[in-house]
Amino acid sequence: MTRPHTKHGLHPVSRLMERIEVDFDSGCWLFTGPLNGTGYVIVPGFDSKSERGHRLTYQFFRGPVPPGLVLDHLCRVRHCLNPYHLEPVTQGENVRRGARCNAGLAPYRTDVKEIQ
Ligand SMILES: [Zn+2]
C-alpha cells in the first residue's frame, strides 16, 4: 500500500518545481531551497522517506533509475534538478567522472559520445 501524496497533500515533484530557477545559459534547474551538507537537494519523497531531489525529477520525467545505477549530474551542479542533465551510471563511473571534474578537466556533456 503506497500513498501517492505526502502529508502536505502536494506531489513531491510539484513542491520541487515551485522552488526552481532555470539558468538559461546552462539549462540547469537550480533549486532555491536548502541543500544538505554535500550540496544535494534532500526532500521528503513518497511515504515520507527522504529522497534526493534529482532522483525524484528524473523518475517523474524520464522513468525508473535502472537497478544498481546512480544518477550522475552531467552538468556537475549537484542542486540541478533538470532530469535531462542526469545520466544513470555505475557508482564506479560516477566516482571516475567526479575525479575528472575535480582535476579541472572539462565536464561531460550530453551531446558528446565518449569513445570507449
Ligand atoms: Zn544541470
DSSP 12-81: HHHHHHTTEEE-TTT--EEE-S---TTS--EEE-GGG-EEEHHHHHHHHHT-PPPTT-EEEETT--TTB-
* CA 1 to centroid of ligand 1, rounded, Å: 34
Question: What pLDDT, on the 0 to 100 scale, is given for residue 98?
Answer: 80
C-alpha cell at 58: 528524473
Centroid of ligand 1 to alpha carbon of 79 (angstroms):
8
Q: What pLDDT shows up at residue 112?
A: 45
Which single residue is written with the C-alpha cell 532555491? 32
CA–centroid distance, 105 to ligand 1, in Å, is 17
Per the listing, cell 531531489 goes with: 53
- Tell me, in angstroms, the distance from the centre of ligand 1 to residue 53's CA: 13
Domain covering 12-102 in this structure, CATH number: 3.90.75.20
Residues in the chain with pLDDT values less than 50: 1, 109-116
Q: Where are the domains of the chain?
A: 12-102
Q: Which among 2, 4, 25, 27 has a CA at the least distance from the CA of 83? A: 27
pLDDT for position 12: 87
pLDDT of the residue at 49: 80
Quick one: pLDDT at residue 107?
A: 55
What pLDDT does residue 74 have? 94
CA of 57 to the centre of ligand 1 (A): 12
Cα of 44 from ligand 1 centre, angstroms: 21
Ligand 1 centroid, distance to 30 Cα (angstroms): 7
As a dihedral over the C-alpha atoms of residue 2, residue 90, residue 82, residue 38, rounded to 10 degrees, the angle is 90
